Amino acid sequence: MNLTLKVWRQKDGASQGQMATYEARDINPDMSFLEMLDVVNETLITKGEDPIAFDSDCREGICGACSLVINGVAHGGHRGTTACQLHMRHFKEGETITVEPWRARAFPIVKDLVSDRGAFDRIIQAGGFVSVNTGGTVDANCLPVAKTDSDEAMDAAQCIGCGACVAACKNASAMLFVSAKISHLAILPQGKPERDRRALSMVRTMDEEGFGNCTVTGSCEAVCPKEISLDFIGRLNREYGKAILKNRIERQGGD
């Protein structure tokens, strides 16, 4: 396949960026989008030009690094598919494809298509974990978990922290990500003791990092490569509301 790429190039976070045009020649339709970018970069390097910077790691849809907006849609618009799992056969011969980075105040651009998603790490550090007593080994099945609960927790735990939900949201809200992280822990018995502190701390950090508010447009769910449901945002709101209420009652010395 032969394609034309319009790619966002930006030297660093302080510089102005602009779209640049490249030709992608002799692309195998079975290549992934990232492999196609590799081919373009090899050509640029051969010509002594600066290759296009983009993020990737696993290239199999599990790490969340491949943060690309392709033809205006985070991850390219194929349901349940990360940019690294998107294949070139989904594009037309001769097509012009635009490639841009995530754009959100909380995800500043580092270079070209690479943005700094450290804000997500700081939200996880604020409470996205279970404090573990590493004493003796716990017997298997000593904490029974209902099948419906384990299924729902597993659905939420599929979030790979890619940030597409933020990139797609007109408010750059991180609610879908935070709701998935809070839910998968709050649903399981191991996560319940810290659920209030977790909800308060993670939501506070989300706000401090500069993410916008959720107005339930659903664009986050539409682009999420792990098909995280908007229902988890409802659960997050309930978790957060209960935590605020309990916190207030405790401060007033009530029960």
Site for ligand SF4 in 169-188 (CB under 6 A): 176-177, 180
Question: Does residue 169 contact residue 212 with C-beta atoms inside 8 Å?
Answer: yes
Taking CB under 6 A as the rule, does residue 57 contact ligand FES?
A: yes
Applying CB under 6 A, the span of 17-25, 27-35, 183-191, 222-230 interacting with ligand SF4 comes to 222-230
Structure tokens at 50: 């600066």
Applying CB under 6 A, the span of 23-31, 186-194, 202-210, 219-227 interacting with ligand SF4 comes to 219-227
Q: How far is the CB of 59 from ligand FES (least distance, A)?
A: 5
- Per DSSP, the three-state class of 24 is strand
**Any idea what the Cα angle at residue 236 is, between residues 114 and 209, rounded to 5°?**
35
Taking CB under 6 A as the rule, does residue 224 contact ligand SF4?
A: yes
Residue 37 contact, options ligand SF4, ligand FES, none, Cβ 5-8 Å cut-off depending on partner type: none
Site for ligand FES in 61-90 (CB under 6 A): 61-66, 82, 84
Of 123, 116, 104, 109, nearest in space to 207 by CA:
123
Helix and strand element counts for the chain (H, E): 8, 7
Applying CB under 6 A, the span of 2-10, 91-99, 199-207, 223-231 interacting with ligand SF4 comes to 223-231
Taking CB under 6 A as the rule, does residue 228 contact ligand SF4?
A: yes
Q: How many residues bind ligand SF4 (CB under 6 A)?
A: 15
DSSP H or E run through 68:
strand 68-70
Taking CB under 6 A as the rule, does residue 110 contact ligand FES?
A: no
* 212, β-bridge pairs: 173
Write the single-letter amino acid at 10.
Q
Q: Which residues contact 45 (CB under 8 A, 6 or more apart)?
A: 51
Residue 30: how many CB atoms within 10 A of its CB? 9
Residue 84 contact, options ligand FES, ligand SF4, none, Cβ 5-8 Å cut-off depending on partner type: ligand FES
Residues lying near ligand FES in the complex (CB under 6 A) = 56-59, 61-66, 82, 84
Residues that bind ligand SF4 (CB under 6 A): 64, 159-165, 176-177, 180, 224-226, 228
